[in-house]
């Protein structure tokens, strides 16, 4: 029996007469003896202790919080005790998760969950996994896109006298957080050591000082401490982020980068850079985030004072606490580009000194910000992964002091057209400094351009240790390299598009076209990519060309760069020129992800004109398939053999391989484990079966192991009548 529920809330459900539980007193007025028979909830057990199954399996056992804390997109268990044994034939009950004052189903703040027979990954559901006496144990699956925060839980029972709900009970409140362990979550991170570092580690290192004299200090994030989770959720209330947006890590990071600082919204920390810290704590005195967050949570007033590493430390606590993988990053010689024109303008007076009246841009010895890990479905493929978010108030963005999330990958390649605040972050790590002399007649003369000073070193704490990890190459190409100049010119081209095009230096190149094609690429094999230029002009050109190949998740998040190649192309007048680049399997196999997706950036500068050509393309490798064949007659009711074969094409042994075969009407699903398949060797699996139904049928097989997934095979078979 399918039970469809349509319940609208005009106000807080807990306060509405008529929806409040039909309480025992009210029921007692009736003399009908059947009252004793209807199902009532006596108690709900949440398995919420740190040593119990829910917090263990959801990696939430470290939270110093007595309530149930689970991560979305992953099942958890509760036990319901009734007044009598549950009868599935006649009894009807469902669960309700609610958040906010006016819960609504279409906003994800009222979630009714019917009990079914199967849990489907990717959507809310519940099923009974154990029945004993008067109790049932439920496995509940939450959606991997549901909003995060604290839900109220009710159990509703359909009785002849209306809907009987459990009373409001804060002990059954359930926190749902982001889940980096769930492949369907936008914050999924595939490396367990990285998850332990970027989600579960509650202590970090802040690197400061300057590039010639690097200093470090520890910082306590304390994301699991008492009341910190509630304080972090309060920040989203303070930022007035609508509840329906709280499942989206992009939105959460954007509003949090504003509320971490006190400018324009009375946020968490008041910044002070003038060495005067009256009525507050000097930024250097803080040792961690907990005191700051708890003071703000209780007083609702900005905590004084912070500088960049304090904003970044508290922001990191917020992100890790909610389950978004995060790390604190330091950029040495960080540019503060006041007008986001991707260059720092330092104006010189007659004597060659910097004119402080005219010069608005600045260089910081170091600057700390955060990176948060997430997919970016709002951007083209390849720009997910680490995103820069910065809570330090430097410049306004859309009217507020905030910054990010900005894709690190987009910043590296100069694709600063992608939201949010990419031009500002790009300038922080990769600007050129222009030293311009102001002549008496008002003309400007560029005296010097320093291309190497900004962003000399970008670092974070290493995974699983306290040493410094250099991540400069994630943000930029080697200083002075052609690729770095090319990325800068690409950024200027994109940046100028957004501004008024007074600077005609960056008109797009129209007389040269560039194309990028890839040969059909098979997993484990070398393959070729071809860059073709068509010079439609009568001029000879040379093009400095750069190709970057990246391994990406199928969601578009970049995992690693595996190929860098640059060359100079001579372009003859009125002709086409093609250049082949071989991608070797040895370059990509070690980092390959299960869906074998690549993302290529190609950028070229026409040296004679300074014009930029840029392209990007996603490529998916062909994964080897399983071969299925049959032996003997295919007649319904007679035994036959099905043979599955697989040849390992990789230059490594496959271990712990699982094969699965099914064919509706031919055979039931069969699974078999194989210890290892050496390289270039062929596995053969023969299964005997008796097809039951005549007609056209399909056999489907799959192979899975750590090094290789998404390997399939299928075969259409015609089963004859006996």
Instruction: In whole angstroms, give the CA distance from residue 531 to residue 567.
Output: 11
* Residue 430 is assigned to a ligand binding site: yes
Instruction: In whole angstroms, give the CA distance from residue 308 to residue 302.
Output: 15
Q: Is 200 left (phi over 0), alpha (psi -120 to 50) or beta?
A: alpha
* Residue 42 is assigned to a ligand binding site: no
Q: Phi/psi at 356 (nearest 5 deg)?
A: -70, -20
CB 628 within 8 A of CB 685: no
For 375, residues 6+ apart whose C-beta sits below 8 A from its C-beta are 186, 187, 188, 384, 553, 555, 556, 557
* Active site (annotated) includes residue 308: yes
* Active site (annotated) includes residue 130: no
Instruction: In whole angstroms, give the CA distance from residue 376 to residue 554.
Output: 12
Q: Which two tokens stand for residue 350?
A: 């007659």
Instruction: In whole angstroms, give the CA distance from residue 187 to residue 181.
Output: 8
User: Angle, nearest 10°, between helix axes 290-299 and 228-238?
Assistant: 60
- Contacts from 207-212 at CB under 8 Å and sequence distance 24+? 207/330, 207/366, 207/459, 207/460, 207/461, 207/468, 208/309, 208/330, 208/366, 208/368, 209/365, 209/366, 210/332, 210/333, 210/365, 210/366, 211/332, 211/333, 211/366, 211/456, 211/457
- Contacts from 452-455 at CB under 8 Å and sequence distance 24+? 452/479, 452/480, 453/333, 453/363, 454/333, 454/334, 454/335, 454/344, 454/363, 454/427, 454/428, 454/429, 454/430, 455/331, 455/332, 455/333, 455/334, 455/335, 455/428, 455/429, 455/430, 455/431
Match 């496959």 to its residue by tokens: 654
* Residue 432 is assigned to a ligand binding site: yes
Beta-bridged to residue 702, according to DSSP, are: 660, 712
How many residues belong to the chain? 722
Instruction: Give me the catalytic one of 21, 265, 390, 482.
Output: 390
Instruction: In whole angstroms, give the CA distance from residue 51 to residue 252.
Output: 30
For 204, residues 6+ apart whose C-beta sits below 8 A from its C-beta are 218, 219, 221, 313, 316, 327, 328, 461
Q: Which two tokens stand for residue 29?
A: 């007025």
- Which DSSP string do the residues of 483-540 spell out, in sequence order? HHHHHHHHHHHHHHHHS-TT-GGGPPP-SEEEEEEE---BTTS-EEEEEEEEE-SSS-
- Give 211's DSSP letter: T
Instruction: Give me the catalytic one of 58, 59, 208, 367.
Output: 367
Instruction: Give me the catalytic one of 146, 232, 253, 308.
Output: 308
* Active site (annotated) includes residue 390: yes
What Å distances lie between residue 79 and 76, 82, 523, CA to CA? 11, 10, 47
Instruction: In whole angstroms, give the CA distance from residue 688 to residue 643.
Output: 9
* Residue 227 is assigned to a ligand binding site: no
Q: Which two tokens stand for residue 313?
A: 């430390």
Q: Which two tokens stand for residue 435?
A: 């030293």
Q: Helix %, strand %, coil % for the chain, to 5?
A: 20, 40, 40
For 483, residues 6+ apart whose C-beta sits below 8 A from its C-beta are 477, 546, 548, 564, 566, 603
Q: Binding site for Ca(2+): what residues are annotated?
A: 430, 432, 479, 484
Binding positions? 430, 432, 479, 484
Catalytic residues: 308, 367, 390
């Amino acid at each position: 029996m399918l039970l469809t529920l349509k319940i609208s809330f005009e106000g807080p459900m807990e306060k509405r007469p008529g929806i409040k539980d039909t309480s025992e007193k009210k029921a007692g007025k009736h003399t009908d003896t059947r009252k004793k028979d209807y199902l009532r909830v006596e108690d709900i057990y949440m398995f919420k202790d740190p040593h119990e199954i829910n917090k263990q399996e959801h990696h939430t056992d470290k939270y110093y919080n007595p309530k149930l804390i689970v991560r979305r997109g992953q099942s958890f268990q509760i036990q319901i005790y009734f007044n009598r044994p549950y009868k599935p034939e006649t009894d009807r009950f469902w669960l309700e998760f609610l958040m906010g004052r006016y819960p609504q189903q279409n906003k994800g703040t009222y979630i009714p969950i019917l009990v079914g027979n199967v849990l489907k990954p990717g959507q809310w559901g519940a099923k009974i996994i154990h029945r004993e006496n008067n109790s049932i144990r439920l496995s509940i699956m939450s959606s991997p896109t549901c909003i995060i925060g604290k839900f109220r839980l009710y159990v509703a029972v359909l009785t002849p006298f209306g809907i009987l709900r459990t009373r409001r009970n804060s002990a059954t409140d359930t926190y749902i957080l982001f889940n980096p362990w769930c492949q369907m979550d936008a914050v999924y991170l595939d490396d367990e050591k990285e998850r332990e570092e970027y989600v579960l580690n509650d202590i970090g290192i802040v690197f400061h000082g300057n590039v010639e004299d690097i200093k470090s200090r520890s910082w306590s994030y304390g994301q699991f401490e008492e009341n910190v989770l509630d304080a972090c959720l309060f920040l989203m209330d303070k930022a007035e982020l609508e509840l329906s947006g709280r499942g989206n890590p992009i939105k959460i990071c954007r509003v949090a980068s504003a509320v971490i600082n006190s400018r324009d919204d009375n946020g968490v920390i008041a910044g002070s850079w003038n060495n005067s810290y009256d009525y507050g704590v000097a930024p250097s005195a803080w040792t961690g985030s907990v005191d700051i967050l708890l003071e703000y949570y209780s007083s609702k007033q900005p905590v004084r004072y912070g500088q960049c590493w304090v904003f970044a430390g508290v922001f990191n606590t917020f992100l890790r606490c909610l389950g978004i993988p995060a790390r604190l990053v330091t950029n040495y010689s960080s540019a503060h580009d006041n007008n986001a024109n991707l260059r720092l303008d330092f104006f010189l007076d007659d004597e060659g000194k910097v004119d402080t009246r005219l010069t608005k841009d600045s260089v910081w010895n170091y600057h700390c910000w955060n990176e948060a890990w997430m997919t970016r479905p709002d951007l083209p493929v390849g720009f997910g992964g680490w995103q820069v978010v910065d809570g330090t108030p430097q410049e306004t963005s859309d009217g507020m002091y905030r910054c990010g999330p900005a894709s690190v990958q987009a910043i590296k390649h100069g694709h600063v057209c992608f939201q949010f605040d990419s031009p500002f972050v790009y300038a922080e790590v990769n600007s050129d400094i222009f030293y311009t002399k102001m002549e008496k007649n008002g003309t400007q003369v560029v005296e010097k351009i320093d291309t190497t000073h900004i962003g000399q070193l970008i670092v974070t704490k290493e995974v699983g240790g306290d040493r410094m990890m250099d991540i400069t190459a994630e943000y930029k190409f080697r200083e002075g390299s052609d690729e770095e100049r090319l990325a800068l010119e690409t950024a200027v081209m994109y940046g100028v598009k957004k501004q008024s095009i007074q600077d005609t230096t960056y008109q797009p190149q129209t007389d040269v076209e560039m194309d990028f094609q890839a040969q059909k690429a098979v997993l484990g094999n070398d393959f070729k990519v071809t860059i073709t230029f068509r010079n439609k002009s009568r001029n000879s050109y040379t093009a400095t060309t750069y190709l970057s190949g990246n391994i990406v998740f199928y969601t578009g998040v970049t995992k690693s760069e595996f190929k860098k190649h640059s060359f100079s192309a001579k372009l003859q007048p009125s002709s086409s020129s093609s250049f082949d680049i071989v991608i070797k399997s040895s370059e990509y196999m070690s980092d390959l992800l299960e869906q074998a997706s690549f993302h290529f950036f190609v950028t070229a500068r026409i040296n004679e004109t300074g014009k930029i050509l840029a392209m990007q393309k996603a490529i998916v490798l062909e994964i080897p398939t399983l071969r299925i064949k049959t032996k003997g007659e295919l007649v319904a009711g007679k035994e036959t053999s099905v043979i599955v074969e697989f040849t390992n094409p990789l230059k490594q042994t496959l271990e712990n391989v699982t094969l699965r075969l099914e064919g509706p009407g031919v055979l039931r699903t069969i699974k078999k484990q194989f210890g290892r398949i050496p390289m270039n060797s062929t596995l053969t699996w023969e299964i005997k079966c008796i097809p039951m139904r005549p007609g056209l049928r399909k056999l489907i097989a799959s192979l899975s192991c750590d090094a290789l997934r998404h390997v399939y095979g299928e075969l259409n078979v015609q089963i004859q009548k006996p």
